[in-house]
Amino acid sequence: MNKYLEELKLRLKESEYEKLSRIRCEKVHKFILNSIKLCNPKEVFICSDTPDEVAYIKHMAIASGEESAALATPGHTFHFDGFYDQGRDREATKFLVKKGDTLPPTLNQIDREEGLNEIFSYLKNSMSGKTMIVRFLVLGPRDSVFSIPCMECTDSWYVAHSVDLLYRKGYPMFCKIKGDGDIFMTLHSAGRLDERMISIDWKKKRIYIDYTTNTVYSVNTQYAGNSVGFKKLALRLAIRKAHREGWLAEHFMIMGVKGRNNRKTYLAGAFPSACGKTSTAMLPDETILGDDLAYVRNINGECRAVNVESGIFGIIQNVNPKDDPLVYQVLTSPGEIIFSNVLIKDAKPWWLGMGCELPEEGINYSGRWWKGKKKDGKEILPSHRNARYTVSLKALPNCDPELENPNGVKLGGIMFGGRDYKAYVPVQQGFDWEHGIIAYGASLETVTTFAIVGEEGKYEINAMSIQDFLSIPLGEYLKNYLEFGKKLREVPLVFGVNYFLCDLETNEFLNNRRDKHVWIKWMEERIHNDVDAIKSPTGLLPLYEDVRRLFRAVLNKEYSKEDYEKQFTIRVNENLEKIKRVRDFYEKLNDTPERLFEVLDEQKHRLLDAKEKHGSYISPFEFY
């Protein structure tokens, strides 16, 4: 017995000690003991993943008031985060950097010792009078080369309940751990709570990432993106591990797309929050393997991927029966779902864009709500635009059967998409791995959305939709990406998608929300060489005849040459401006691979040559 376990025996109830003693890993015992000493909980609950324990956690989430089951649909509960705790908080999230280390200046960071002293001062006695819940989980399928064990100590029953829906249970795996391998650890406290079970000290919200110990510290916050340590917070840790070991940890959804002769092709996609990732992953008649995070490895020359998670923490705004019928059906049917920051009225959850008129009063994250209610001079919407739902993937009728495959699934294609109102066409294929990764992935440009606190409406480069989470220099990350592709025997095709292209005169979107299903089907056919493509300066474009056929087959909709021309016209000047913005961004970094500038310059020259021949706005028919 190690010294940490000996001391834990004195601090834990016999039943909890007995469960913990089955885990022989000294690192686990040390982390739990240090967390107890720092946070001073009234008691400790070790979850060993039995059905009774899991049910108890859900019961306590309701009994504590962190969730409410006052909804008409069986299994549904709701939770409110604080008014100022409605999204990822860039300012409060920092890397702890030890002396002598350097991280990119673009990353929010603080000296490790200074940061630990600060956050420990907030965590000190933060669990006094409360229960510390200890959860053991697995990122990726269990017993796999992809598996990463992880654990969280939290005083939030809501957090402990959420991880049951989002991750694979890991206690049995922890009982098998030997040695001193990587374990991702999180210590979280919601801090002092008011009568509504909302964090009081939100101004002292801190989310600090200690990459030297693979530990996340989170305090005075409840929003799951800040308090569940294994979403984007652990992604930062996984990126460092992937870089060391030569694989990819990505902000990817993964879907199975049905094709000819009953085949299924797996596509991954990176989109910033609120840019269409989840709605793409959940397209009807296809299968969903993941909607947010993926680990990607070279296995015998194939590019194979797994879903890091096993559930969905999805944005609920605009989920409605017309545009997202499958998700809407799940959200309105009996089953275990946590709604957060929606409007509650008549024992039902209501949210923006759900396809019906919303009540004019009810309760929401601001307390009692009525139409026209204001705070800080701004009108409070009935449901927050970053309101969420948490549900197990297996609750979805189209959950892909390969979700738990320890070898992952083979990727046929990877797509990158943001909010690009002026330049890129709705879908195009890269000329090769390097061109696609650089022109679509590294050049991913978007307007920031409500999923990020205080940052809505700003234009920014968001490479691979992962910039917020990078814990290594961006240039090193890109080099790893380019090298990864070179070592593959079967290289996925790379696509750029843009659901937000607008008419330059009216500013109206040229894509219908459901059009993305056609672009997905075209990508699947391209992967198998079922259709040809035309070469434009920015990539390979679909032929009108193929798109017209797919609109009929997929959406039962006629698609005119005028629609095609509007959507796939190459806007030369807007694309040149885009290249300049991307170049300016990367020239400020001192580690950008030279190949990035070469690929951008090649695209610039293709655009200039095309402009000389055809003008500033070039119909796709000119490339036939």
- Residue at 107: amino acid letter: L
**Tokens representing residue 133 in the block:** 């819940």
Q: Is the pLDDT at 20 greater than 60, yes or no?
A: yes
pLDDT of res. 452: 44
DSSP 359: P
What is the rounded distance in angstroms from the CA atom of residue 568 to the CA atom of residue 428?
9
How far apart, in Å, are the Cα atoms of 599 and each of 248, 430, 442, 475? 22, 11, 11, 15
The closest alpha carbon to 148, from 172, 184, 175, 185, belongs to: 184
CATH number where 603 lies? 3.90.228.20
Phi, psi angle pair for 262, to nearest 5° = 65, 20
Q: What is the pLDDT of residue 423?
A: 93
| DSSP 8-state symbol, 442 | I
Which range, of 94-98, 340-344, 489-493, 550-554, averages the lowest pLDDT? 94-98
Whether 505 maps to a domain, the answer reads: yes
Provide the residue range defining the domain that includes 504. Answer: 412-623
What's residue 104's pLDDT?
Answer: 74
How distant, in Å, are the alpha carbons of 89, 317, 541 from that of 546? 44, 32, 11
Closest to 321 measured CA to CA, from 313, 332, 310: 332
- How far apart are alpha carbons 571 and 354 in whole angstroms? 34
What's the pLDDT band for 456 if we cut at 50, 70, 90?
very low
State mean pLDDT over 262-283. Answer: 89
Rounded Cα distance between 200 and 24, Å, is 38
Residue 449 has pLDDT above 50, yes or no: no
Three-class secondary structure of residue 66 per DSSP = coil
**pLDDT on residue 448:** 56
Residue 446 lies in a domain: yes
Residue 166 backbone class (left: φ over 0; alpha: ψ -120 to 50; beta: rest): alpha
The answer to whether 274 and 449 have CB atoms below 8 angstroms apart is yes
| C-alpha triplet 88, 90, 91: angle, nearest 5° | 130
Q: Residue 113 above 50 pLDDT?
A: yes
- 214 part of a folded domain: yes
Compute the Cα dihedral for 509, 512, 516, 518 and give only its sign. negative
The pair of three-digit structure tokens given for residue 233, joined into one six-digit string: 């917070």
Which active-site residues does the annotation give? 275
Where does residue 362 fall: left (phi above 0), alpha (psi -120 to 50 degrees), or beta otherwise?
Answer: left
Contacts of 16 (CB under 8 A, 6+ apart): 44, 45, 46
For residue 455, pLDDT over 60 is answered with no
What's the mean pLDDT in 567-580?
97
pLDDT tens-digit profile of 342-365?
Answer: 999 999 999 999 999 999 999 999
Q: Determine if residue 353 is left, alpha or beta; phi over 0 gives left, psi from -120 to 50 gives alpha, anything else beta.
A: left
CA distance 393 to 530: 31
- Tell me how crowded residue 97 is: count the other CB atoms within 10 A of its CB: 21
Out of 245, 276, 308, a domain closes at 245
Q: Is residue 445 part of a domain?
A: yes
E-assigned strands of 271-366? 287-290, 294-299, 302-307, 311-315, 337-340, 343-345, 348-350, 361-364
129: left (phi over 0), alpha (psi -120 to 50) or beta: left
Residues near 367 by Cβ (< 8 Å), separated by ≥ 6?
A: 196
Taking a C-beta distance cutoff of 8 angstroms, is the pair 441, 251 a contact? Answer: no
Measured CA distances, 465 to 266, 292, 417, 445 (Å): 19, 11, 8, 9
pLDDT per position as a tens digit, 132-180: 999 999 999 999 999 999 999 999 999 999 999 999 999 999 999 987 7
Q: Is 532 a domain residue? A: yes
| Euclidean distance between CA atoms 412 and 520, whole angstroms | 12
Tell me the average pLDDT across 48-75: 97
**Cα–Cα distance measured from residue 240 to residue 96, given in angstroms and rounded to the nearest whole number:** 14
Full DSSP string of 357-408: PPPSEEEETTEEEETT-EETTEEPPSS-TT-EEEEEGGGSTTB-TTTT-TT-
pLDDT the model gives residue 325: 85
Q: Is 333 exposed, middle or buried (0-12, 13-18, 19+ CB in 10 A)?
A: middle
The pLDDT, as a whole number, for residue 458 is 61
The percent of residues in the chain predicted with pLDDT above 90, rounded, is 87
- CB of 516 closer than 8 Å to CB of 276: yes
Res 273: pLDDT: 72
Distances (CA, A) of 49 to 11, 94, 171, 236: 21, 32, 6, 26
Of 211, 228, 245, the domain-final residue: 245
Confidence at 232, pLDDT banded by 50, 70, 90: confident
- Please check whether residue 102 lies inside any domain of the structure: yes
Which segment of 117-131, 502-516, 566-580 scores lowest on mean pLDDT?
502-516
Taking 60 as the threshold, does the pLDDT of residue 589 lie above it?
A: yes
Mean pLDDT score across all residues of the chain: 94
Query: pLDDT tens across 80-101, in order?
Result: 999 999 988 889 999 999 998 8
Which tens digits make up the pLDDT trace of 288-327?
999 999 999 999 999 999 999 999 998 899 999 988 888 8
pLDDT of residue 90: 84
CA–CA dist 123, 117 (Å, integer): 10
Cβ neighbours for 105, distance < 8 A, ≥ 6 positions apart: none
Q: Identify whether the C-beta of residue 7 lies closer than 8 Å to the C-beta of residue 33.
A: yes
Residue 17: CATH number of its domain: 3.40.449.10
Quick check: is 357 in a domain?
A: no
Stretch 355-379: mean pLDDT, rounded? 96
Name the DSSP class of 424: S
Domain count of the fold of the chain: 2
pLDDT, position 450: 43
Is the model's pLDDT at 451 over the cut of 80? no
Picking from 245, 276, 298, the residue at the C-terminal end of a domain is: 245
Question: 314: closest CA among 241, 368, 253, 250?
Answer: 253
How many helices (H) and strands (E) the chain has is answered by: 18, 34
Per-residue pLDDT tens for 423-440? 999 999 999 999 999 999
Spatial neighbors of 176 by CB under 8 A, at least 6 apart, are none
Asked, for residue 386, whether it belongs to a domain, the answer is: no
